[in-house]
Amino acid sequence: MSVKPLSHGAPHNCFGCGEANHSGLHLKFFVDDQQQIICNTSLARSFEGPPGYAHGGIIATLLDEAMSKANRQHGVTAMTRQMEIDYLRPVPLEQPITITGRHLSHQGRKHSCEAEIKDGAGTVLAQGKALFIAIDRSILLKSASRQQ
């Protein structure tokens, strides 16, 4: 399977993927042959919830990021409206995990996506589905520049 870097133009201070956010996750996303979003990473101890495992909010963030990038890969800038998460097994810290995201469908401005987190052995640890609402990227950027 070959992968290529996802060029998504995310803000540099994004908590999930922003390079400039010193306390962020610094996730790097790729696109595989099936047009899925792929991120191979491991989580630092600073993202701990239960001892040795990721905080549930961080797990939700990982899934949300992968689904957001699945939209971006299709040229869609969208905001999460509703997200459902199945926490199947604890997500370990400081061990390899793989996050995958897929764009499922769209109807008008509504975009449906799904994502999952697997451990190094391929066991699914968490799954998510979400509804995103497409927005005009120029309005988003204009709003952000007013806040600076």
CATH number at residue 115: 3.10.129.10
How many structural domains does the chain have?
1
148 vs 16: which has the higher pLDDT: 16
Of all residues in the chain, what percent carry a pLDDT higher than 90? 68
Residue from 65, 50, 73, 72 nearest 116 by CA? 65
Q: Which helix (H) or strand (E) holds 127?
A: strand 124-134
pLDDT bucket at 20, cuts 50 / 70 / 90: confident
Q: What is the DSSP letter of 57?
A: H
From the CB of residue 31, how many other CB atoms can be counted at a distance below 10 Å?
20
Q: Is the pTM of this model over 0.85?
A: yes
* pLDDT for 6 beyond 80: no
**Average pLDDT across the chain, whole number:** 89
Q: Which domain holds residue 48?
A: 3-147
